[in-house]
Structure 1
Amino acid sequence: MKIRLIIFGVFILSTLVTNFNWLPNGAFLGKEIALIGALSLLALVSLFYKEFCIKIKSIDIVLGVFFIYIFFTILLKPNYFDTTKFFVISLFFLLYYYLGGGFFKDNKQVKDLIIIFLTAFLFESLVGLMQYFGNLSVPLSERFFYVKGHFSNPAPFACFLSFGFTLGSGLLLFYPIGKLNKYILFLLSFLFVAVIILSKSRTAVLCCLFVLLYSLYCKYQHKLKKKFVFLFFSGIGIISSLFLINLNTDSILGRFFIWKISLKIIKDNFLTGIGFGNFQPVYMEHQSEYFALVSHNSKEALLADTINFAFNEFIQLFVETGVIGFLLVIILITIILYNLYKIKNRETVLLSALLLNFLLMSQFSYPLNELPLLIILCTLLFLTRNYFSTIYSKNSHYGLKLTVLSLAIIIGMFWSRNTIKAYSSWSLSKSEAFGGNLNTSIRHFKIANKSLGNNGFFLFNYGASISEEGKCKIGKPILLKASKFYNEHYIWELLGDCQKTENFEEAEFYYKKAINMLPKKFVPNYKLFLLYKLHGKTKNAVYMANKILKKQIKIPSSEIEYIRLECSNFLSEL
């Protein structure tokens, strides 16, 4: 038992801190390899325990139906993401769901799990503090961006810590604990919320606030009139939300614009969506089409950016899986929350508070795209599973357990080996390209392409490296393929650069595509201006020069000043 508990602790911490920073996208890759490695070790240790009982609970049926639907949408629709990676990571989350649900059954084991997670939250918060105070030379207004722990940016880091605050405050409110433990939990909760505030994540602050109000409501609803308690807490929540929103209205307006474009995609793909995992390229295509028809001097044009997520998991789910997938998830959430409400003890109230935390952050962030937050969700699901009735139970043969777990370990190890090898080749190709050794770089790119041919970032880097060296005939098809997996303005800029001397019409189309994708960018507009100059299209060049000079500047830079000066000089010389 203790060995498995230690491995669970290693699993949680390793998926936070592992970072292959010598490889492209090493932060994400490191966490994925750590997930597979730690769970493979856990599966290996579990083989020495003879108990093996297959239990199917009512929640498993709904979860199963949802994942079967996702599986078929991936098979039946064009998909523009790494499906192999998706299935391997999903297999290991299923393994975690099964092994965790089988191990953490009684209160003592759940208590050990709480200690593991509190340790992880404490570790990350201390890292965040060191990042804040270790960057004292950075202006105070910008220092928050460095407070991100082992995450890619402050938002998911703060959302991770919000679970620590919810857990700590929930234990303080609902559990009879000793005086020393109360002090420890109070200090931990205070530390978590302090670091969240330093990170300036409004989503995480809102989560902490609303979940605390929910916990207080559950705690004191029997002592006060329910109507009074509800109105009081609702008033505090609404006022605080308006205050936090007012701190950065551009950020909120930017999200509203993302949701506006997303709703247009939903309208066109209502029933089954655009296909699981296809949000980024499809969204950017629709954003480009939208700005082809509206003014480039609007507030929306200034706020539009390269978007990877919808900043609302429910909207993104609807976009990708349609109304069928959306309703399946709503049914799943309703069943879970209703079941917890029906039982209503301190354990279920704490679980519902943690689930509410996840649901709230899903409204404004992207927790399903961060591995540590996915681990928390999976943990909550297998703990919640204990409160559902068993509809099928059977003691199974040890040989079946041996076969299933061994197969999972082999798949994980094989995928990890091939992926690390491919990323190493990618890293070498980038180094060789930077050193001017194009032929050697292409050779390494081709090796990596065998495993990373569906990775948009890799294809983008591959095509860009070749195109920038003048090998446009080789780079063009790679860049066009990359745009299907990871669609951004720079790809279309490069394609325009490739065609500017050979094919005016194509170059013009590509530059316009880049402009419509991100209207606020000056460089694509400038390149189109230069294209018109190059081909003697003076009238068009004048139009572009005037457009550039009238363009709003979001962030001033020397590059923008140079572009504006070039346009002014051109117009004055006419």
Structure 2
Amino acid sequence: MDLIAGSPWLGHGSGGFDARYMDVQADWLAANPGSRYAVLADNVRHPLNEWLLLAVDYGVLGVCVAIGAVVLTVAYARRHPSASSGTGLNVIACAGVFSLFSYPLLYPFTWLLLMMAVVVVFGHALSHHARALYVMLLIVLPVCGVGLCRNLELALELREVQGKAMLGLSERMMPRYERLYQKLKGDARFLYNYAVEQYEAGRYRPALNTARECGSLVSCYDLCLLEGDIRSALKDYGGADSCYNRAHWMVPSRFVPLYERFNVAIERGDTVSAHCLAGEILAKPVKVRSLETDEIIDDVGKRALGRADIMQGE
């Protein structure tokens, strides 16, 4: 609701929820540190409600257009009833109700069903323009086919490059990543992967620039951790601590951001902050026990105890 209130009429544009929600969640949880919702928070990429997503991205105007289209379809079906128009309306109703609790519009199959439902409902009107529709299909389908083939080619090349990079060939894959960047720089998932591989290849400055570019398209926990890692590698400990702290407030139940802040404090020689962070980690309740969490707790416990012994000796 805060996001909708920020731009109620026209929304934040396509991808607005992805680009802004996690920042709003982090701000709210940081302002309410004792909230019972802190342990439930996670890395949210969809509001689990297509109508809310529509309101965030396209505002009240977008919601009104969608509702208007549904009302127009129902009104036409009532004026021109047919044996199959009821089935078409049922499909639209099911998709509308399902959209209140999940993300059915992320699946191409849902769009296919909705298109078929609309064709069934408006079959009477469309029959008067059959020839024009056939001509349009003859033009549109080949264009769409070419686009799909091109996207498939890019996806296959990216998969191959990612596979080789994961085998330790990040540096050798950089020229191919640079070529793909020219075609996929508007894709947040590609930019995140590109920044990761630049970081793995030791190209920290370009990795930071790519991570920032990705941050203009999406706000998420993993991206904050990645930027923190890059800044830490650049010895920008203040910036790294800020990124890890942002990740912590995005998903307060996780241990990794606090652990990375603890490591940064030790690197900086800030024993006071390291001691405070160690206490916070060791006192933190475990939401889901895992090997990684146990290793973090054990490591922090040993290192904090060792530093306490040193300080006592001094």
TM-score tier after normalising by the smaller chain length: 0.7 to 0.9
The answer on whether the counterparts of 1:496 and 1:506 sit within 8 Å (CA) in structure 2 is yes
The answer on whether the counterparts of 1:311 and 1:363 sit within 8 Å (CA) in structure 2 is yes
The answer on whether the counterparts of 2:84 and 2:120 sit within 8 Å (CA) in structure 1 is no
Is residue 382 of structure 1 aligned with residue 119 of structure 2? yes
TM-score, reference length from structure 2: 0.87
Structure 2 letter corresponding to 1:484: S
Q: Measure, in 2, the Cα distance between the counterparts of 1:353 and 1:427.
A: 39
* Residue number among 60, 63, 81 corresponding to 1:326 in the alignment: 63
Q: Which residue of 2 aligns with 1:419?
A: 151
- The 5 A counterparts of 1:88-237 are none
Q: Which moved more, 1:263-272 or 1:280-289?
A: 280-289
* Residue number among 88, 102, 125 corresponding to 1:351 in the alignment: 88
Is residue 282 of structure 1 aligned with residue 11 of structure 2? no
Residue by residue, what CA displacement relative to the aligned partner does 1:330-360 show, whole Å, maximum 9, x if unpaired?
Answer: 2222233344456677644433333221111
With over 3 angstroms needed to count, the CA separation of the structure-2 counterparts of 1:294 and 1:560, relative to structure 1, is: same
Q: Which residue of 2 aligns with 1:16?
A: none
- The 5 A counterparts of 1:460-471 are 460-471=192-203
The answer on whether the counterparts of 2:198 and 2:206 sit within 8 Å (CA) in structure 1 is yes
* Residue number among 463, 481, 493 corresponding to 2:213 in the alignment: 481
Q: Measure, in 2, the Cα distance between the counterparts of 1:290 and 1:469.
A: 36
* Residue number among 471, 481, 500 corresponding to 2:232 in the alignment: 500
Q: Measure, in 1, the Cα distance between the counterparts of 2:227 and 2:188.
A: 16
Structure 1 SS opposite 2:46: coil
Structure 1 letter corresponding to 2:259: Y
Q: Measure, in 1, the Cα distance between the counterparts of 2:263 and 2:82.
A: 69
- The 5 A counterparts of 1:389-404 are 402=135, 404=136
Structure 2 letter corresponding to 1:534: E
Residue by residue, what CA displacement relative to the aligned partner does 1:448-503 show, whole Å, maximum 9, x if unpaired?
Answer: 22221111111111111121232211211111112223332122212111222521
Q: Which residue of 2 aligns with 1:294?
A: 32
Tell me how far 1:564 sits from its aligned partner. Answer: 1.4
Residue by residue, what CA displacement relative to the aligned partner does 1:40-65 show, whole Å, maximum 9, x if unpaired?
Answer: xxxxxxxxxxxxxxxxxxxxxxxxxx
Structure 2 letter corresponding to 1:374: W
Structure 2 SS opposite 1:556: coil
The answer on whether the counterparts of 1:425 and 1:445 sit within 8 Å (CA) in structure 2 is no
Q: Measure, in 1, the Cα distance between the counterparts of 2:103 and 2:59.
A: 18
Q: Which residue of 2 aligns with 1:310?
A: 47
Structure 2 letter corresponding to 1:268: G
* Residue number among 269, 288, 304 corresponding to 1:536 in the alignment: 269
Q: Measure, in 2, the Cα distance between the counterparts of 1:414 and 1:352.
A: 33
Q: Measure, in 2, the Cα distance between the counterparts of 1:536 and 1:374.
A: 56
Q: Which residue of 2 aligns with 1:451?
A: 183
Q: Which residue of 2 aligns with 1:569?
A: 302
Is residue 515 of structure 1 aligned with residue 252 of structure 2? no
Q: Measure, in 1, the Cα distance between the counterparts of 2:162 and 2:87.
A: 48
* Residue number among 168, 175, 192 corresponding to 1:436 in the alignment: 168
With over 3 angstroms needed to count, the CA separation of the structure-2 counterparts of 1:414 and 1:446, relative to structure 1, is: farther
Q: Measure, in 2, the Cα distance between the counterparts of 1:468 and 1:290.
A: 33
- The 5 A counterparts of 1:43-58 are none
Structure 1 letter corresponding to 2:172: T
The answer on whether the counterparts of 1:341 and 1:349 sit within 8 Å (CA) in structure 2 is no
Once superposed, what is the RMSD of the aligned Cα atoms?
2.6
Is residue 269 of structure 1 aligned with residue 7 of structure 2? yes
Structure 2 SS opposite 1:299: coil
Q: Measure, in 2, the Cα distance between the counterparts of 1:547 and 1:338.
A: 60
Q: Measure, in 2, the Cα distance between the counterparts of 1:377 and 1:401.
A: 20
The answer on whether the counterparts of 1:428 and 1:444 sit within 8 Å (CA) in structure 2 is no
Q: Measure, in 1, the Cα distance between the counterparts of 2:287 and 2:172.
A: 40
The answer on whether the counterparts of 1:425 and 1:444 sit within 8 Å (CA) in structure 2 is no
Residue by residue, what CA displacement relative to the aligned partner does 1:504-524 show, whole Å, maximum 9, x if unpaired?
Answer: 221111111211222222111
Q: Measure, in 2, the Cα distance between the counterparts of 1:309 and 1:325.
A: 17
Listed as ranges, the gaps of 5+ residues in structure 1 are: 1-262
The answer on whether the counterparts of 2:77 and 2:122 sit within 8 Å (CA) in structure 1 is no
Q: Which residue of 1 aligns with 2:257?
A: 524
With over 3 angstroms needed to count, the CA separation of the structure-2 counterparts of 1:352 and 1:441, relative to structure 1, is: same
Tell me how far 1:321 sits from its aligned partner. Answer: 0.6
The answer on whether the counterparts of 1:429 and 1:440 sit within 8 Å (CA) in structure 2 is no
Q: Which residue of 2 aligns with 1:180?
A: none
TM-score, reference length from structure 1: 0.50
The answer on whether the counterparts of 1:288 and 1:516 sit within 8 Å (CA) in structure 2 is yes
Residue by residue, what CA displacement relative to the aligned partner does 1:91-149 show, whole Å, maximum 9, x if unpaired?
Answer: xxxxxxxxxxxxxxxxxxxxxxxxxxxxxxxxxxxxxxxxxxxxxxxxxxxxxxxxxxx
The answer on whether the counterparts of 1:528 and 1:544 sit within 8 Å (CA) in structure 2 is yes
Q: Measure, in 1, the Cα distance between the counterparts of 2:97 and 2:19.
A: 26
* Residue number among 337, 354, 366 corresponding to 2:103 in the alignment: 366
Q: Measure, in 1, the Cα distance between the counterparts of 2:45 and 2:305.
A: 41
Q: Which residue of 1 aligns with 2:312?
A: none
Q: Which residue of 1 aligns with 2:311?
A: none
Q: Measure, in 2, the Cα distance between the counterparts of 1:378 and 1:445.
A: 37
Q: Measure, in 1, the Cα distance between the counterparts of 2:142 and 2:165.
A: 35
The answer on whether the counterparts of 2:18 and 2:218 sit within 8 Å (CA) in structure 1 is yes
Structure 2 letter corresponding to 1:275: G
Tell me how far 1:393 sits from its aligned partner. Answer: 5.8
Q: Which moved more, 1:483-492 or 1:454-463?
A: 483-492
Structure 1 SS opposite 2:216: helix
Q: Measure, in 1, the Cα distance between the counterparts of 2:117 and 2:123.
A: 10
Residue by residue, what CA displacement relative to the aligned partner does 1:264-302 show, whole Å, maximum 9, x if unpaired?
Answer: 10011101000023321221222222223221x533222
The answer on whether the counterparts of 1:457 and 1:486 sit within 8 Å (CA) in structure 2 is no
* Residue number among 140, 159, 162 corresponding to 1:408 in the alignment: 140
